[in-house]
Amino acid sequence: MLRRGHGLISARNVRPPFRPSLSSTIPHAAIFRAYSTDDTPSHNVAILGGGITGLASAYYLTKELPRAKITIYEASDRIGGWLSSKRVPVKDGTILFEAGPRTLRPSANGVLAARLMQELDLAKDAIFPQRTSPAARNRYVYYPDHLVRMPHPAFGIAENVWSLVTEPIFQTAIWSGLTEIMKDARSDKVEDESVGEFFSRRFSKTMVDRILSAVLHGIYAGDAWQLSAKSLFPGLWRDEATAGSVLAGVLKARADGLDVTKREADYLQEMKDYAWDPLLKATLKDTTVFTFRDGLGMLSDRLVRRLYEHSNVEFRTSTPVDHISLLENRSGVSIKAKGTAQAEDYTHVISALSPGHLNLVTKLAGSESLVPHIPSVTVMTVNLYFRTPDLNPPGFGYVIPQATPFENNPERALGVVFDTAYSPGPQDLDLSNWQITDAEQLKQARDQGQLINVNDFAWYNMPDRPNMQDDVKQRGTKLTVMLGGHWWNDWPVFPDEQEGLALARSVVERHMGIKEEPEAWSVNMQKDCIPQYTVGHESRLKTAHNNISREYKGRLRVAGSWMSGVGVNDCLRSAYDVVRGLRDGRDGTGLEHVGTNEYVRLKPVRPGRKVEDKE
């Protein structure tokens, strides 16, 4: 259960609450109609796919090219893609189930998600678990037959060292870490290798099988011995080549500064210069993840609502695209949708489709595909709600490595998320559980610009009631079991709904002793949902870039989870970069950054000093 007794933690002083500017309170379409003297569209852009990438692409177009005409094609009757949040009735109220992603990190590419939260007025609906929360500190791995809590600075040196020397999962970890710097670097002839091969060379195979494979299960649902080290860990891959070892590269970066691509340095500077709400910025500094009271589906829903406010944005749902082709004069792209008599012409197309789907609608001559084959995996998520509270240990959840014996994971589960960890429950908002029971005192502290932390959650929307996802009188235990991924690659048939439920219940009974009948449940089959960046991924992306550039002359650009990151934040970044390139008039495909050798160095941060600019 979430810790109590932290009624008021006033962190740092910030400026008075942010007052939005006039432009952020008036719909962009209204601003465009009021000030534009020329209604001729600057661009006529078609977006293929109505998931988070397509929606974000449309949103950034309305901001960067406000006179552009935008048409969003979606094959299904639903907008939002893998973001799917739903409320389920239980005996004393409703609970929230997430079929797909459930939290977002506010760092790196996630800064764009935080910006969207501010721009779409979603911050008042957000939930911010603090760094002191069990969700932030407690992460587990199941090996070989029990849950092992991963070390964390908050646990102290003695406890962490004891865990490292007594738990079988950490066997070879200390020695391989100490000796990594003494190992020879790879040959210059090695262009890529699997994550398993790379980390086995640098550290040990035991670490890969028992720890790293679990991490990859939680992110990619993939096989450590198939995924590309160069694409998944580009910084470490480069450190070995330039510094001779991973540890030497890390030490060099701490002393001299971090080398990043110029594209990344420019992005970081843009995010730094953004006009942040001071209170939101301060809140995000103390949180590791965030979500919303009605789930991440609120993000796609709010994007749709904002886009509907623009008269130059059109949604075409239940409209699959059959074929796209470059116009003979190369001035645009023609799109033929299924069931339509005539094709329509656009100046540009942004594809948020999967590579396989894009290949179907482009149909190059001969056997060549526009994008080389990029495999994907299917994941089943099973949401379970039990009436009894606290059936899981405090923390975010656990992942299962490839080395876990088959008899302890015959269901081929990837991991389990403890969904009650990242949102407060009714007991956490009960004043009787707070050290400070005077709510007026909290309000006065907030009015003075102090951050309010209630039971390890930031109370950003004060004085309104703190947000929580489950509207019940007494919250029970809510879990999500993740099944499949690369384990299912060779399965001719996937489990049906009842089989999936049985598999999930078997997992939580074996691993946590939960035998109780769930009061509510939901089984979600996500077919081909996570692209796999297997060995040679970067080379395939370069081929795709060359093919798209040759065939479509800058008129077709791609974005999505299959190029530079599989998460929601990565999709936002992909959409952001594609639109910025279009705004600046740069020839591109959305893949022009792949394999860049243009690096700049960020100056190191010295103790007591602020982050410095790039050199």
pLDDT tens by residue, 260-312: 999 999 999 999 999 999 999 999 999 999 999 999 999 999 999 999 999 99
pLDDT at 26 over 50: no
Copy the structure tokens of residue 489. 């690659």
pLDDT at 5 over 70: no
Torsion of CA 68, 69, 75, 81, to 10 degrees: 40
Copy the structure tokens of residue 117. 């939260």
pLDDT at 116 over 50: yes
Write down the pLDDT at residue 10. 41
Write down the pLDDT at residue 609. 54
pLDDT at 12 over 90: no
What is the chain's mean pLDDT, rounded? 89
pLDDT above 90 coverage of the chain, percent: 79
Write down the pLDDT at residue 365. 66
Distances, alpha carbon 50 to alpha carbons 177, 336, 343, 406, in Å: 45, 17, 20, 39
pLDDT higher at 612 or 256 = 256
Copy the structure tokens of residue 589. 């495909």
Distances, alpha carbon 25 to alpha carbons 21, 45, 55, 305, in Å: 7, 26, 20, 14
pLDDT higher at 441 or 407 = 407
**Which of 39-43, 303-307, 512-516 has the weakest average pLDDT?**
39-43
d(CA 524, CA 100): 8
Confidence at 27, pLDDT banded by 50, 70, 90 = very low
d(CA 99, CA 252): 42
Closest to 223 (Cα-Cα) out of 488, 410, 441: 488
d(CA 225, CA 213): 9
d(CA 525, CA 78): 16
Q: pLDDT per residue over 524-570, tens digit each?
A: 999 999 999 999 999 999 999 999 999 999 999 999 999 999 999 99
d(CA 165, CA 169): 9
Residue 582: partners with Cβ closer than 8 Å, 6 or more residues away: 43, 45, 61, 64, 65, 348, 350, 557, 588
Write down the pLDDT at residue 22. 29
Closest to 452 (Cα-Cα) out of 4, 12, 5: 12
Confidence at 440, pLDDT banded by 50, 70, 90 = confident
pTM of the model as a whole: 0.91
d(CA 555, CA 345): 11
The mean pLDDT of 91-118, rounded to a whole number, is 96
Closest to 422 (Cα-Cα) out of 127, 212, 117: 127
Distances, alpha carbon 308 to alpha carbons 27, 55, 63, 72, 348, in Å: 10, 11, 14, 11, 21
Looking at 257-376, list the stretches that DSSP marks H as alpha helix, in order from N- to C-terminal side.
262-273, 278-285, 297-308, 355-362
d(CA 543, CA 372): 7
Helix axis angle for 52-64 and 568-583, nearest 10°, is 30
Cβ atoms < 10 Å from Cβ of 38: 7
Confidence at 605, pLDDT banded by 50, 70, 90 = low
Evaluate whether 536 touches 230 at the Cβ level (below 8 Å): no
Evaluate whether 219 touches 416 at the Cβ level (below 8 Å): no
pLDDT at 39 over 80: no
- How many angstroms separate the most distant Cα atoms in the chain? 74
**Which of 30-39, 219-228, 368-377 has the weakest average pLDDT?**
30-39
287: which DSSP letter? Answer: B
Confidence at 152, pLDDT banded by 50, 70, 90 = very high
| Three-state DSSP class for residue 456 | coil
168: which DSSP letter? Answer: G
The distance in angstroms from the start CA to the end CA of the chain is 47
The mean pLDDT of 424-441, rounded to a whole number, is 73
Write down the pLDDT at residue 454. 76
* Angle formed at CA 50 by CA 573 and CA 596, multiple of 5 degrees: 25
* Angle formed at CA 384 by CA 123 and CA 88, multiple of 5 degrees: 60
The mean pLDDT of 84-99, rounded to a whole number, is 96
Kindly provide the b/e burial profile for residues 281-311, where b requires at least 16 CB atoms within 10 angstroms of the residue's own CB. bbbbebbbbbbbbebbbbbbbbbbebbeebe
pLDDT at 33 over 50: no
The mean pLDDT of 220-231, rounded to a whole number, is 98
Write down the pLDDT at residue 459. 86
Query: Which element (helix H / strand E) includes 201?
Result: helix 195-202
606: which DSSP letter? Answer: P
Q: Are strands 44-48 and 348-351 parallel, antiparallel or unpaired?
A: parallel
Write down the pLDDT at residue 380. 98
Closest to 559 (Cα-Cα) out of 592, 537, 527, 584: 592
